[in-house]
Structure 1
Amino acid sequence: MDMQSWYTGQKARLIHRRGCTLARQGNHQSAIATLSKAIADHPDVASVYISRGLSHQALGQLNQARQDFIAAIDCAENPAIAYYQRGQLSLAQGSRTDALNDWQRAIAAHPNYGDAHYQLGLAQSETGDFPAALASFNQVLEINPNRAEAYLKRGHVRQQLGDIAGARADWQLAVLNDASLGELVPSSLQPNALTPVQELLQTALQPMQVGVKQRGKTLEISLHRQVGEGVSYFTLPNRLRDLLLPLELAECTQFRLMGYVGNVRGPEWEKTYDLYKDQPCPPSHWPTALAALVTFPPVGVTALLYASQVHWFYRQGKYLDALRASHAVRHLSLVGTGVMCILVAFPLGYTAIQSLQDEPAPPERTARAIDHDFIQIE
C-alpha cells in the first residue's frame, strides 16, 4: 500500500467516525451525508454501509436502510453484523420469518454472536417454541454469563416449561446483575428475601399459617387461623416484636399485623405497630471505647466516634442504627485488644529468643575416676 492510499483510507476512517458521532447526537440527516463521503475510500466499507443504514432506519427510511444492509452483506468479509441488522429491520417491518432467517445467518457467520442468539431466543419464545428459546438463551449466557436480561427471559421460558425452581434461580441472577429488572419478575414467583423471616414466624406461631410481605418500611404479617384456634391479638404484637428484633431488619421500622379466621375474606384484626417501640437505648460502652483508645489509639478513636453516635441515633428514632453503633464499639475494642496483643507478642517473643541464644553454655562436667579395691577372699 502506497502512502497516498494509506492517507486516503485514514481520511475516510475519520469521516466515518464523524458521521457516527453525528448519529449518536441524533443528527441522522447530517450523519447520512457525512457517511456517504466515506464509502468510496474506507478500507471496511461494510461498516460504513451499516452505520448509514442505521441512520436511515432511525429516520424511518426503511427501504434505503435495507439497501445499505444488503450492500454491507455483499461486500463484508464477515456479514454477521449486516445480517443481524437486516433481521432487526425485518422485525420492525413485521416480517418475523425474514428476521429469524437473517439472525440464523448471522449466527452461522459468527457462532458466538450473543445479540443474534438473544434476538433469536426472544422470537422463539414469542412463537411458543420454548425448548428452542431455552437453547438460544443458554447460548447467550454461555457467551456472556453477566447478561441480566438473558437471565430474565430464560426465567420466563423456564416458567412456561414448568421449571419453577429454575425460573426463580434465573430471576434472582437477573436482579443481582441489574436491580431495575426486579419489576419485571412475576411478584408471585420472584425470589423472596423475607423467606427466612416467614419460616421463623411460621415455626413460632404454629398451627397458624403465616405470610410475610414488605411495603416500604412496613413489614406486613398475615396470620390465618382456623375456627376454634385461639389467639390473643393484645399479647401477640409483643411476641412478634421479640422474634423480629434479633433479626435487625434494616429496611423495616414497623410491622402491620393482619389476622384472618377460616374462610372469611376480611381481616378480623388489622393494626400497625412500631417495631422498636419502648426499646431502651443501647449501651454506648464508653469505658470499652476508652480502653480501646489506650490499648490501640487508631482503633480507639473510631470506637469513641461510634460511642458518641449511639444516643444521637436513638434520639433521632433510629434505634437500629444506634444498636449497630453500640455493637461496633465492642467489636472495635476487641480488634484493638487483639492488634495490641499481637504487637506486644512479637517483641516479647523476639527478646525471649535472643535471651536464649545469648545465655552462656553450662560447663562441661568430666567423669570422675573411681578406684575400686578388690578384696581377695582366700
Structure 2
Amino acid sequence: MALQISATNPEHPAVLLELPWQLPLEEWPEKYLVPLPRGISRHVVRYARAGTEVIAVKELAERPALREYELLRDLDRLGIPAVDPLAVVTGRTGLTGEPLEPVLVTRHLGGSMPYRSMFETTLRPATMHRLMDALAVLLVRLHLAGFAWGDCSLSNTLFRRDAGAYAAYLVDAETGELHPRLSTGQREYDLELARVNISGELLDLEASGALHPSVDPIEFGTEICARYHGLWEELTRTSVYPAGKYHYIERRIRRLNDLGFDVAEMQIEHASNGDTVTFVPKVVDAGHHQRQLLRLTGLDAEENQARRLLNDLESWMATQDDYAPGDPSPGSRLRTGRGDVRGARPEVLAHRWVREVFRPTVRAVPPELRGTMDPAEIYHELLEHRWYLSERAQHDIGLDAAVADYVRNVLPKGPQPPRPAKG
C-alpha cells in the first residue's frame, strides 16, 4: 500500500512528507524530534518539527486513528478546547517492506504541559484545586456539546496557564462518542470514570513522592464530581420567579456570564395563573469573555485572561479624555457595545488600548525570557506584579515601572521551560 496522508490543510502533506515515515516512531532520529515533556500514553507519541510547526505524532491502528481524527475535527467545529487534528498517515512500510502502524498527527498546543511535568516540583493544594476546576469546566463543556469522553483523566488532558488559573484541553478522543444529547446516565458514567482515573493517577504520584503531603488522592478524585455537579446545576437548572421580576432573569444571565458562559437560547414560560415566570437556559456557550475581548480588540485569549484584560481595558478607558462622561460605567459600555455620542465608541478606545498599552507592554519583555507564556499571560503577570509592587509601596507605581522590575528581578530567577530544538 502506498503512503497516504489525509490532512485538514492542503499545505500539510508536502511538509509532512519530509518526515521519516519508513521508521517506527521509537526509532526516529533526534534531528526530527522536539524535546518537549510528554505525558503517559498507551501508544508511542513523539513531538516533531514539520515546517514551522511543532506536531504531536501518535502511532495507533488505522480505524481508531481515523475515528479520533474525525472526532477531533467535530470538537473543533463545536469550539471545544482540544488539540487540533492535522492529518492521518496510513500505508506506512518499513525499510524492509514490513507494515508499520498508521499515525495521527495533531498540532502541539503551545504553552501547555502534561500533568506529570507539572508535578516535577510539588504542587500546592491550591494549585491542585485550580486543576480540578479546569478539568470540571472541560468535562461540562464536553457534555453540553453531547460528547461522552469515555476516558477523562489527567493523563488525557493538557493544561495551559490562564491568568492565575488553568485552562484544560482534551488531548485524547480515542474513546469518545458524540451524541445529539447525553443522558444523565451517560454523564454520570463519564464522571465516575474521571473520579476513579484521577484518584489512581494521584495515588501513583503519591507512591513516587511527587504529591504534596496534604493532598488526599481519594478526596481530590471525589472533588471533580462536586465541582462538576455545582457547575452543571448552575448552567442547566430551571428558575421560577415572580411575574414582573424580569430583572431576576437578567441577574441569572449575568451570573452565567461571570462563570464564562453565554446563554445562546432560552425558554421563558408564564404560569397559567400569571403569578410566576419559569426560565430555562436551553443552549449555553462557553467563552463569554473570550468573545467579548476578540470583538473589541481582536485579541484571542483564554477565558480568565480575557476577563482580566477586559477589566484593565475598562480601567484604562475611564482615564481617557474622550471617554463619554454620560455613560454610567466603563463596564456597561463594554457589555452593551453602546457608547455616548459625545465620546469615542468602545471599539475605537479598545483598539487604541491595544496599540498604546497592551502591545508596547508585552514587547518590553525580551522574547528570550518569556518561556512558553503567550502575550495575554505575560500581560496578566505584569498586572499582578504591578499590584504587588503598588501594595508594597502604598501607591500605584505604574505599568512601566512594574515591567522594568519584572524583567530585571522576576523573570531571570524563574525556571525556564524546555524549548523546541532548532531544525
TM-score (norm 2): 0.21
Quick check: which one's helix share is greater?
Answer: 1
- State the structure with bigger RCO (CA 8 A, min sep 6), 1 or 2: 2
Judging by fraction of residues, say which structure has more strand. 2
Bigger radius of gyration among the two:
1
What TM-score does the superposition give when structure 1 sets the normalisation length? 0.23
